[in-house]
Structure 1
């Protein structure tokens, strides 16, 4: 098994993963500063209208076109016949449905900027690499839908990433394998090393970091601040070791304010009343939906520990979150 610190060259900007879902707020409505004005100078009849007509006629929805325009305005300067249409047809041949092509373009509009030569030089061989490693077609389609630009790496670099993930011990048939490929292709070596160092500083061994990564590869996409904050808070509130959480890394992907803090408050009460042992399953507490949590851990003990409900309501009210709301986003729970 290779060490976690694997030398993979820094990636081109077009291949980097959209860290905004994990590192900071994602502004769905604003345009990226400094990128829109050139587009406004384009001839609307000659440059914009043909592409908009093509997208509308091909089943691309208005909201997706707005997202494409705001995130990658250079697309509208691309050649319709030499870049946009061939790339669109290529993607559609894999993902098949309008729903899937909308999802793919919402996340990776820059793929439509590629020439046929670029597609044949990157996506085609990279898809072959995945197939040769035994990745199921459904997983490949999922990767195209969720982050097609992952496949825009040069094949030698992409092959190195796939072999690295395989060397970590991931099963090529599992969903975790393709997610790990997505994570590794979207992260520079320096960022990867910083994330490893955060986990080391909170007490995780190399084996524990690898355990967490294999269970939930997206744990490496979380901001360094949130990793430290979540691990230290859960360990302190529940009287456990930070290293114990490596067995349930999905917890790291949850909302700190809306889910982790209120549920830890309830478990503190139940543990103090000897209604639960400290070695309870963190997954069973944190990953169930809100109604199940209330039923299993709050209303069930309302006579023995009525303060559990007060603790839960108090924490959520303090944080401005209504009971009944749920965490949302595109996080993949494994």
Structure 2
């Protein structure tokens, strides 16, 4: 059964233990799930005792930081009755310190499994995958060890999970998705026939197993019946979507079919209250179905933020139509970027309206380095002043500075300026003090500057 499924798919395509850290861990716990009110105070288990236990078993500060960030609930587990027996059991079975720390760092939720035997089973399976990928690469053939795991006598839920995850791995699903599927309780790898049918649907729709969308689509088909999916499609049809448009959205963001009728309808109506008409709302949701994640309150706050900064209602609508992600940006993010673009670089709000995707660019990684290069060119007088459509002091148009690729930017504003290249490359690379003295490859362009 599983071999035919595979054939079908190929055919189709130092942590500080201080009060500060303690406060951070409590914050992580509070934000870890929709039920964070249960953890509104410091957990009964002392987080320091958990950290001490991990340190004593060879985990580095970096690894512990990664574990707590990935799975903050670990801090609520009792170190003596829950965590220690599992760590000791793994060591008694021959797990080296390096294997133990590497695997738990990658998949900390493995320590939440009930019973040492269950933990050991998942641990061995994860170790096989990691070691196999190191030796042969993700697309290499599975080792005999993995095949033995997938066809082992392990039965029930654990057996299904291991077998199904092995199938997904052979299809090319990356480690980071496999491990989260393996250790979670309610996931689409728990079944057998239903799993096979769900994977077949996802493959038939052309999803690439190497992407997160493949896993999202698998969730949807596994968790929802055909009748439920049909009902969700009908909700969109009532709002003006064609059936093919609904599936276009699904291909962009599979979770678009997971929302309730109430949520879908409310998002539609909220966008209309922003000034969009029915046709424009359909267009926005088609472009960015992820905007349905934004609550009514968040969308309202977004509108208030843009209008408060000085954009008109019509300008906001124009930006949303061009860049629907606008409705999901936080007020702080919008203000910081506008302050930099308009307040410091002296472009105008109309410049932003003309290229709203700029609000999605990283301030630290894209805007600041590129604009730093432009400022140096202007200050040194080597850039022509008064170029049309630019900002104050001869700053070039926003689009020519921020909307181009790294390669185009470097050719346009760095490489042609001779003796200034080392200084400009240092700024572009984020280092304003040191010259650029090594070889740097930027999206296909190899630069050697000394």
Residue 53 (str. 1) matches residue 92 (str. 2): no
Residue 282 (str. 1) matches residue 398 (str. 2): yes
Residue 216 (str. 1) matches residue 255 (str. 2): no
Residue 148 (str. 1) matches residue 257 (str. 2): no
Say if 1:61 and 1:181 are closer, same or farther in 2 by CA, change over 3 A: closer
Does the 8 A contact of 2:198 with 2:221 survive in 1? yes
* Inter-partner Cα distance in structure 1 for 2:196 and 2:224: 10
Number of equivalences: 289
- The residue aligned with 1:68 is 181
* Inter-partner Cα distance in structure 2 for 1:101 and 1:163: 35
Q: Deviations over 1:200-220 (max 9, x none)?
A: 332222222222111111133
How well do the aligned residues superpose, as a CA RMSD in angstroms? Answer: 4.0
Structure 1 residue matching 2:430: 3-state secondary structure: helix
- The residue aligned with 1:262 is 369
- The residue aligned with 2:73 is 34
- The residue aligned with 2:408 is 292
User: TM-score when scaled to structure 1?
Assistant: 0.68
* Inter-partner Cα distance in structure 2 for 1:237 and 1:108: 44
Say if 1:251 and 1:290 are closer, same or farther in 2 by CA, change over 3 A: same
Counterpart among 182, 193, 200 of residue 307 in structure 2: 200
Structure 2 residue matching 1:74: 3-state secondary structure: coil
Residue 317 (str. 1) matches residue 434 (str. 2): no
Counterpart among 111, 115, 118 of residue 220 in structure 2: 111
* Inter-partner Cα distance in structure 2 for 1:57 and 1:148: 21
- The residue aligned with 1:236 is 343
Does the 8 A contact of 1:150 with 1:182 survive in 2? yes
User: TM-score when scaled to structure 2?
Assistant: 0.53
Say if 1:252 and 1:67 are closer, same or farther in 2 by CA, change over 3 A: farther
* Inter-partner Cα distance in structure 1 for 2:359 and 2:422: 24
* Inter-partner Cα distance in structure 1 for 2:294 and 2:429: 34
Per the TM alignment, residue 188 of structure 1 is displaced from its structure 2 partner at its CA by: 1.1
Q: Deviations over 1:18-59 (max 9, x none)?
A: xxxxxxxxx799743338355455966321231332343352
Does the 8 A contact of 2:320 with 2:327 survive in 1? yes
For the pair shown, which has the larger CA radius of gyration, 1 or 2? 2
Per the TM alignment, residue 136 of structure 1 is displaced from its structure 2 partner at its CA by: 7.8
- The residue aligned with 2:14 is none
Structure 2 residue matching 1:259: 3-state secondary structure: helix
Residue 178 (str. 1) matches residue 277 (str. 2): no
Per the TM alignment, residue 286 of structure 1 is displaced from its structure 2 partner at its CA by: 0.7
Does the 8 A contact of 1:234 with 1:240 survive in 2? yes
* Inter-partner Cα distance in structure 1 for 2:349 and 2:296: 25
Say if 1:204 and 1:39 are closer, same or farther in 2 by CA, change over 3 A: farther
Say if 1:40 and 1:115 are closer, same or farther in 2 by CA, change over 3 A: farther
* Inter-partner Cα distance in structure 2 for 1:171 and 1:250: 18
Q: Deviations over 1:123-166 (max 9, x none)?
A: 323335556745584x6555334432221122354255457658
